[in-house]
Structure 1
Amino acid sequence: FESGKNAIYYNALYEEVIDIFYGSKINNADMLREYLKYIYEDAMIFKASYFSLENIKIDPILEVKNYLVNKEKPVEQEIICNDLLHIPRSRIVNILHSNKEFIRNSPGVYLHPDSIIISESELSEISSFIGYKIEQNGFLTETEFIKFIKDQLSGIVERHYQLTDLGLRDVIGYKLQNDYSFNSKIISEKGKNLSVSDVFRIFCNKNERITLSELKALKKELNSVIYFDIIYNEKLRITEEEFVSKELVSFDIDKIDNAIDEFCYDDYIAIQDIKYFSSFPECRFKWNSYLLEHYVAEYSKKYRLEHINFNEDSCVGGIVKVSSEIENFYDLVVKVLFDSNISLDTSGALDYLYEKGYLGRRSYKDIDKAIVQAKAMDEKRG
């Protein structure tokens, strides 16, 4: 109390003086409370979790807030706990982790937004920029947001040089929480907590044509992967680099399927084995493996695409007849290995599938299982 504390928690006091009571009957905070009540009953006020000199109501959240505001800088969690010894460490940790008003500047380091000076004019300029970008693109990435502040409002960064990009984003996010949604690396309209996949979908819908380079740039800004399933659902890939609106293409499905028939004599064929497209009908874009891949994946009546996933810079997988007994990619792998004349060991099988264009890299989680099944089929054939 001599240090100015209005109240002391029993848990905090017990943690501090536990060595004094070693070997005694006082072995927890509840017993310490009863002991103190017995000794100081007339001198202090005893509540359920703390005691004080006067009958006051304390708010540990407010105490932690006032402490951080007065510090005017980010503070390590350990230092906060040591400076606020009258509050149990576990309570402080819970307060820091579960209340949005306490900003994590870096792992184990916290601050309060009220300790960061951002003028009304600066905040207004930031808000206007965010609003403009959301109207233009449907969202704003953290990368572009931080760049704007550092380029246009460098005074904020200079005043608070200890702020990390994470801390700066979340401080402004707290101050503008009534206007916008700040969800990790994505800023959007209030109430729209956009996910990374949402951002890729919006990006597709906002642009008639997009490029792989643009998708890679967005991927880098979001520290994510490219959500190709969404991209292919919203756009048509016409080359390695280009994606366009699906309304721009005109597929004669029957004629295209007939053209594929000329190459696919068995139940399947690797995409990369169709190299010539002179027999394919006009569709407003030049035929290539990427356009073929997308056509089979979405439009064909007689064929379907079996692969692990779409890739940035290659077309891998197989074109499979709908009428075949191949039901999934695993079945395709088994059939390809069964039809091959290679020695069926893991390394050799992966090399073969990669070189033939069914895999984008020499890795497949079910390869050993597929080899066993292919061998069993081969033995059954005799």
Structure 2
Amino acid sequence: MGNFAGNDFLRDALLQLLRRHYEKGYRLDSPIEMKKLRRKWQEDHGGEELRASDEAVRKAIASLTVSAGGMAYLIAQDVKDWLQFIVMLYLGKSEAIFYEAFFARHQEKLTKAHIFDEQILAVVFEEIFPRFHYGKVYFGKAQGAVPDVVRHEILDIWGEKTLWTYEQLEERLYIPLDAIKQVLGQQREFLWVAEGTYTHISRVNMDDEVKEKLRQEAQNLSQGRDFWSIKELPVDDVLAANYELETKTNSAIYDAVYAICLEADFDRKGDTLTRKQQEDDHVQGKMAQKMSVIERICEYCRSCDTCTLSEIQEFAKGFTKNARHLALRAAAKSMVRIEVDQYVADKYVNFDVAAIDTVIGEIVKGEYLPLKSFVTFVRFPLCGYAWNLFLLESYCRHFSEKFRFDVPYPNLQCAGTVIKRSCDMNYDELQADAVFRANINLDRDTVGNYLYNSGYLGKKPMNKQLDVIISLAKARG
């Protein structure tokens, strides 16, 4: 704030004025606000005018307040003392406080103290603790990217506990829940155990003899096979030493086994493992020379932890004129789509397949349902990312045991259909069945509009294709 150099009477009188009339802040550089203040001065001082200049008044108010967003706020000293106490106590063991989390936890007290939002809170902190580092969303002794800071804070308190829940971490840390969820879901060292519950890979007990036994069993299972399931491994010894991680799916156990024992020799896609090719594998080298364009793009996708559709298209432009279409196809085959333009590797999602399939089964009443008909995801188990139609499509393409996804071509409109694996209709037959059940006129315009508007297709089909669908629909009558 600085100290006001003018007379003490003006400073003390302005302090009382601010307390009485400006609990919600004073607009420091507003001429209109200055005129109002002078009127309030007259009212409080029996008609006597405020004789100090505007500049002197502004300087005095600035010395008494903190400024944020063009407003000056009067913060009581006892509030600053309270903030200093709890911050120093917390930062004695941790290194960062996120403004959003701190404000949310103490909102009632802060609001009463005229700290109405995170911006004002940050300014008050900076006045009380000028030597700390201040970022956009956090301050403290830590510096770095937000995910790195959140990861460090979580690991700093993990200790000897095997399991932490979202709620426990949120209660212990001044970090927003969304940031905690994102780091736990994306950092491979944190293993998903159950909904909202994680362990750290360092808390998994596995002695050297068990590790070697699992590696040898993995080699045996891969002999003469292109791929095999990680769930074929005998993990009873690991379960016995890590009883807290046992669940219906034992997801954390298998994730730990892969990360600790198998990652060097095997690639993993869901539960499926394939042996990694050695760099000096001459046969593989010859196969790579014969790769199709789509296979090359798929290989590029598999080499990325995260990427955008734009990046995949840019890569594809090097050897095809049809980069947009092939990039969409390759990304759909090789990665998990979390947003319209964002993809991640399979290892960054934690799907509870049995639970998710159960939820989908409760929504899909017949044999199929257009993707766009899924309008809410509140019942879907957490998986590390926010559920949306893109993520659901990828789940059905790659992970679901009871459902598949089909559409004639990948698209940006979330067109396509979630289909039970027990359904043996091809896509033309499925569309014909949908048209028949809709009881609409079987002319090209009506059928084409229906299939497009209902989300079975991302664009209206050609007349030749419509004729096939209409013929199949008529045959059902």
TM-score relative to the length of structure 1: 0.46
